[in-house]
């Protein structure tokens, strides 16, 4: 089989309420879906989760010419060709996101060609449902956040995550955390994500103030590449530290292991290099006593890839799931996406089990 075309299709969705974290405020979300076509008539889907201003160019101008003519079922060979055939390497950022998207599309094609879901190609489905946490609660007025959080708990989620770290609003952020904790009660897990906003000292002070509210984990408290900063905090705080969504390639995660920098590691299939890189990162994490909890804040394509990997690797915990309905999940799936009481069903049709509606 040969790759005959690689196309990028962008979709933009306006958000009714902005999604604000410590770094940015989004009033719309754009997704770049990647269609890898073959001479066998099969089309694989990927999701290019990099800088949305660049992704169509990276996919169609840089990566497409390199991918044409390759056998999509030889996934490792495709990956090597895209990643390692130039003198000047791109070892992270949007180019790696583009490579990840094409890698995911190749798994989709291979699954379709063999008539099996991707989880089977990854060693077999060990579970049919993956427990998810509601990843939303972007900072806004505390009562509003409390109301939204309570709704997720009512829907059956056993964990919710907030995105705070609003610039110059440390005290207000603690009010937000307090309001959410009160609304969800003592037994629901509560992840707190500050999206890399602090230096180590500030992160320590804020972390100490969070202890009272019993966070499930404290996510990306400092710069993503500061493994020793994460380790320094971890040694000083009685909180679990989570990080990894901004790292690339299995080698890029090594400083986390050597510094014992985290309790949970969050590789993103669509950023770190694809399904195979993520699988290696998860397996290495487990050898170091770190729990893999894949990052996912993408379209239904990235969600499906994450579901298949988590189904095949039962040691992974907590699917990151966007419950706001803005991530084009339902429209994409052959079978309607099944979300029940905070769990998401692993697709059962061949490949990723997702396709674009005509």
CB 246, min distance to Mg ion, A:
9
Residues 202-230 as b or e (16 or more Cβ within 10 Å = b): ebbebbeebeeeebbbbbbbbbbebbebb
Indicate the residue among 103 and 245 with the shorter CB distance to Mg ion. Answer: 245
Please check whether residue 256 is in contact with residue 265, taking contact to mean a CB–CB distance below 8 angstroms: yes
CB 240, min distance to Mg ion, A:
14
Indicate the residue among 37 and 193 with the shorter CB distance to Mg ion. Answer: 193
CB 121, min distance to Mg ion, A:
28
Establish if 268 lies at the interface with Mg ion (CB under 5 A).
no
How many chain residues interact with Mg ion (CB under 5 A)?
Answer: 1
* 16-55 positions binding Mg ion, by CB under 5 A: none
Indicate the residue among 31 and 218 with the shorter CB distance to Mg ion. Answer: 218
Indicate the residue among 193 and 322 with the shorter CB distance to Mg ion. Answer: 193
* 193-232 positions binding Mg ion, by CB under 5 A: 193
Please check whether residue 199 is in contact with residue 231, taking contact to mean a CB–CB distance below 8 angstroms: no
Q: Which residue is nearest to Mg ion (CB)?
A: 193
Indicate the residue among 45 and 319 with the shorter CB distance to Mg ion. Answer: 319
CB 272, min distance to Mg ion, A:
14
Indicate the residue among 62 and 240 with the shorter CB distance to Mg ion. Answer: 240
CB 297, min distance to Mg ion, A:
8
Indicate the residue among 107 and 321 with the shorter CB distance to Mg ion. Answer: 321
Please check whether residue 190 is in contact with residue 159, taking contact to mean a CB–CB distance below 8 angstroms: yes
* 181-200 positions binding Mg ion, by CB under 5 A: 193
CB 161, min distance to Mg ion, A:
8
CB 193, min distance to Mg ion, A:
4
Indicate the residue among 148 and 196 with the shorter CB distance to Mg ion. Answer: 196
CB 315, min distance to Mg ion, A:
21
Residues within the interface to Mg ion (CB under 5 A): 193
């Amino acid at each position: 089989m040969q790759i005959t075309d690689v196309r990028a299709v962008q979709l933009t969705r306006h958000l009714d309420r902005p999604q604000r974290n410590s770094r940015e405020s989004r009033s719309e979300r754009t997704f770049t879906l990647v269609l890898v076509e073959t001479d066998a008539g099969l089309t694989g889907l990927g999701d290019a989760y990099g800088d949305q201003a660049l992704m169509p160019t990276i996919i169609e101008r840089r990566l497409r010419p390199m991918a044409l003519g390759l056998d999509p079922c030889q996934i490792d060979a495709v990956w090597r060709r895209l990643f390692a055939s130039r003198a000047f390497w791109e070892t992270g950022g949007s180019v790696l996101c583009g490579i990840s998207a094409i890698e995911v599309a190749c798994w989709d094609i291979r699954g379709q060609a063999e008539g099996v879901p991707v989880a089977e190609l990854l060693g077999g489905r060990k579970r049919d449902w993956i427990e998810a946490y509601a990843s939303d609660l972007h900072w806004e007025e505390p009562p509003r956040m409390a109301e939204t959080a309570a709704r997720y708990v009512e829907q059956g989620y056993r964990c919710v995550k907030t995105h705070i770290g609003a610039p110059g609003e440390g005290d207000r952020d603690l009010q937000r955390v307090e309001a959410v904790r009160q609304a969800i009660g003592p037994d629901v897990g509560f992840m707190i994500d500050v999206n890399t906003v602090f230096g180590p000292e500030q992160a320590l002070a804020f972390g100490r103030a969070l202890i009272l509210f019993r966070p499930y984990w404290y996510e990306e408290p400092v710069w993503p590449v500061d493994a020793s900063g994460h380790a320094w905090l971890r040694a000083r705080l009685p909180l679990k530290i989570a990080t990894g969504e901004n790292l690339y390639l299995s080698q890029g995660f090594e400083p986390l292991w050597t510094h014992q920098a985290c309790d949970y590691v969050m590789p993103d299939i669509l950023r770190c290099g694809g399904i195979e890189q993520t699988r290696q990162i998860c397996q290495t994490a487990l050898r170091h006593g770190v729990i893999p909890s894949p990052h996912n804040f993408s379209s239904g394509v990235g969600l499906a890839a994450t579901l298949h990997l988590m189904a095949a690797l039962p040691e992974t915990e907590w699917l990151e799931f966007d419950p706001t309905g803005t991530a084009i999940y339902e429209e994409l799936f052959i079978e309607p996406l099944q979300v029940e009481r905070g769990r998401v069903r692993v697709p059962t049709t061949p490949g990723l089990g997702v396709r674009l509606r005509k």
